[in-house]
A and B are shown apart, each in its own frame.
Chain A
């Protein structure tokens, strides 16, 4: 119980700290959301009118306090750019980012585990060397490159999907998932190599351990040792890695969303920064902090389930 209480306290503290730092940072940099919204032909009076309407003429501590109190009541404020509640903007976009994250994590898992195990088993052989170079190639190509490549190859050349033809999840859920396949692949591919390499090195480290030698001596088959004993131990660093990757994709794969024109959290984040949309930025930043902490927490819990040694450490 103490374990959970400590974790929740840490979560709340992180969210609070992140929101204060963001608030300060955005009020230090130049840029006025009202000027951006109303354009260069606006009269000084309409600028002043809009500022007071949005409450931007109050002092900094006042504005932060108002936003924080609202958040505690579940009201995330109103977006300056779009004049609609931040919560409605978030809920509209969350399914896009969430399903993109789920699909890409699934793809990463399905591809990296076999490749990781295989490259550990075939270590030193030509196959193993080939897999190593493939992984190296994947790691050296930047992530955004895959996004653009997929749009061009699969969208424009091969016509496997219509670039920009995003299907709304409310209108056609099947079509929505189908459209998300290529963006998910673009998010997954750069991460598959990392996860595979992690798994490979931790499996190799386990292969050197005494208990493996003991089991072999007692007549256990190689596959049995691998899947029954080694994998559990080798999975610990990989679980941690997956925790970080989950946090990353759920925060909005900004570049992939931009390249595939997906209305997700990532694109919203970029536009809210350019527009200095304070309520939206604050809420997004708190959401991301929440996800990062929760994802890492879940990874911790999973490790404690997998490895009994960790349970006693609490």
Chain B
């Protein structure tokens, strides 16, 4: 267990090393928070700040800023570390290590995520609160559930990224997969708008896909929409399903792996 902890600490130190990039990223998140928040408020202005499918203007604005704060924590785009090890062949070394391959990558990702919680999530939420007066969590219990949901969201996001990375066993170029996965992970996860805004049957479909477990789950936990136990249980369900799927894909992929050179 200790070795995984060490890996996580190392990964989070790596993140903290890039402080200038973190500040720049914070600026980006804030700019988009202001733009998307203004658009959301503009829309709500057309219905005199009424409620839409259970979402008040305050809820929707809070979702916009929570999503901006989560973007780097769940790190949906541009993570091709595993894909790179398949292409370079160094994945063979990773298999030889005396620790779990899945556990190694997972602890790295948790370490990275933990650092971004402090460097990106909390500052972005603070800026959202200052500029847009977003809703603060109603109770300490909500904060607790939110943090649990965020941690599990990282795990779900990691599982999906791992799966798309494993496509490198079969594909040389990951850009096509990247483009398609962005559509699912942003749109169907509720990054742009709460999935409750979707028309049927898209709404039901999105609810039964794992992508909502990345974005909607932490939002619902924060805003107190739905039973927090059910939210977390659904996330755990997807983590198990995706892990089993990864194991299957990995087994098939390993057989295809050819490493050259000496």
- A and B, one complex? no
